[in-house]
Amino acid sequence: MSKQHFETLALHAGMDAAAHGGSCQMPVYQTASYVFEDSAHAADLFALKKMGNSYSRLTNPTVSALQERVAALHGGIGAVAAASGLAGQMLALANLMMPGDHLVASHRLYGGTISQLKNTFRQFGWQTSFVDVADLDAVRKAITPKTKAVYAESLANPGGAITDIEALAKVAHENGLPLIIDNTMASPYLMRPFEFGADIVCESTTKFLAGNGTAVGGIVVDSGHFDWTQNDKFPLLNGPEPAYNNINFAREFGKMAFTVRGIAIGLRDIGACQSPMNAFLTLCGIETLALRMERHVQNAQIIAEWLSQHPDVSWVGYAGLPGSQYAPLVKKYLPRGAGSIFTFGLKGGFEAGRALVQNVQMARHVANIGDTRTLVIHPSSTTHSQLSEEHQIAAGTGPDVVRISVGLEHPDDIKADLDQAIQKGKKARAA
């Protein structure tokens, strides 16, 4: 069969009915372990001489189906599913970094990612320099001999800034480094970072892939394009691995080295595996991804245009609006639409933003994005509250910022709910 389209892969990739008793839907393999054929089979699995199922912390048929499907949607060669998006980032970097190593990261990132890179990873001896990745000279200057990767979001959470992936990949590759892109805000339907030079994609499957807020998970997808043997920067992939009789993953598994190590070492020793049930729920969600993203983007455009004309709104940061500074990048990277998550500011500042999220009735005030429902949050008092005001502003989450993840409701109902919340907040402040 010729190369299949995105919508077809979203339904069929990773699922062979004949291999699962003729089941039309991917079954949930709710099991911790698997029966070995014999002693030799068990030994070969644990020595990585054969691929197969030994224990569900490493491999599980339902989770494997998810990994294959998401890899196919991104145009990658392999993937590792994790317990959450942040767990996926951990697995990705654990393949690359040793104590004393360094990462160059965008300063426009999800607050949890900033905290993970800035604070928690410091416990491992990993250092991060946060820069404006739109300033390529700043990226170049931040790279040191200990740098192991460049990290950015395709669409920044929450502000929606668009990364020029092709230009950033060129800088990373000139320095012998992989470019890691978090593609959560766009999903593979709106953007496929590998087509523009990215090497690794991280994504929270909790968001658009699952799509309805039922399953937490993350995934790391490998393009198979990066040559881990081109220099001596990556001994974890291109050096002896004592845990497996000193095998060299890059030599033994070639283009699959990053993925195989992510499972054989990352999942085995870090243990942040995705549950079979969450993988199943995400597989079900992916089946409608293309349809949902079309409506998400359509609604977001309507709501952004309406907010930009609202008398109580001071600004709207949606890349799809006419005159946006990101218009050229939207045309290049996001021809299907600029996503459905953006930020805006109310003229009443911090208190107005808090009042809006407190007074919505239909929309949900939650710390999530990518749901079928419209979701709102005030980042500076919640998701980014651990940052200083200076860092909040740099990340696009200043005191007046409200983040909205536009759902699939009728746009007139979304408008009505936001407007009544704004008006309630005004009355409360005037009282």
Look at residues 256, 285, 314 and tell me which one is the last residue of a structural domain: 285
For the stretch 132-145, pLDDT in tens is 999 999 999 999 99
Asked whether the beta carbons of 429 and 352 are under 8 A apart, the reply is yes
* 388 pLDDT above the threshold of 70: no
% the chain with pLDDT above 70: 95
Within this chain, do residues 173 and 310 fall inside the same structural domain, yes or no?
Answer: no
Within this chain, do residues 254 and 298 fall inside the same structural domain, yes or no?
Answer: no
Q: Give the CATH number, domain containing residue 411.
A: 3.90.1150.10
Model confidence at 392, in pLDDT bands (50, 70, 90)? low
Within this chain, do residues 296 and 368 fall inside the same structural domain, yes or no?
Answer: yes
% the chain with pLDDT above 90: 83
Give me the chain's average pLDDT, please.
93
Within this chain, do residues 209 and 197 fall inside the same structural domain, yes or no?
Answer: yes
Residue 185 lies in a domain: yes
Nearest to 311 by CA among 412, 422, 421, 416: 422
Within this chain, do residues 281 and 411 fall inside the same structural domain, yes or no?
Answer: no
Residue 425's pLDDT is what?
Answer: 79
Residue 87 lies in a domain: yes
Asked whether the beta carbons of 382 and 367 are under 8 A apart, the reply is yes
How many domains is the chain built from? 2
Within this chain, do residues 242 and 376 fall inside the same structural domain, yes or no?
Answer: no
Whether the CA torsion 27, 32, 38, 40 is positive or negative: it is positive
* 119 pLDDT above the threshold of 60: yes
- As a whole number of angstroms, the distance between CA 396 and CA 399 comes to 10
Residue 147 lies in a domain: yes
Residue 1 lies in a domain: no
For the stretch 25-50, pLDDT in tens is 999 999 999 999 999 998 888 888 89
For the stretch 179-218, pLDDT in tens is 999 999 999 999 999 999 999 999 999 999 999 999 999 9
Average pLDDT over residues 400-405: 92
- What tokens appear for 263 in the block? 């499972």
Q: Give the CATH number, domain containing residue 44.
A: 3.40.640.10
Model confidence at 381, in pLDDT bands (50, 70, 90)? confident
Look at residues 252, 285, 318 and tell me which one is the last residue of a structural domain: 285
Domain region containing 329: 289-430
Residue 354's pLDDT is what?
Answer: 87
Within this chain, do residues 339 and 354 fall inside the same structural domain, yes or no?
Answer: yes
Average pLDDT over residues 99-123: 94
Within this chain, do residues 172 and 204 fall inside the same structural domain, yes or no?
Answer: yes
- What tokens appear for 99 in the block? 């104590």
Q: What is the dihedral of CA 18, 292, 337, 134, to 10 degrees?
A: -70
Within this chain, do residues 255 and 130 fall inside the same structural domain, yes or no?
Answer: yes
- As a whole number of angstroms, the distance between CA 139 and CA 74 comes to 26
Within this chain, do residues 375 and 255 fall inside the same structural domain, yes or no?
Answer: no
Within this chain, do residues 111 and 209 fall inside the same structural domain, yes or no?
Answer: yes
Average pLDDT over residues 320-343: 95
For the stretch 211-251, pLDDT in tens is 999 999 999 999 999 999 999 999 999 999 999 999 999 99
Residue 262 lies in a domain: yes
Look at residues 285, 301, 316 and tell me which one is the last residue of a structural domain: 285
Model confidence at 363, in pLDDT bands (50, 70, 90)? very high
- As a whole number of angstroms, the distance between CA 164 and CA 45 comes to 42
Model confidence at 111, in pLDDT bands (50, 70, 90)? confident
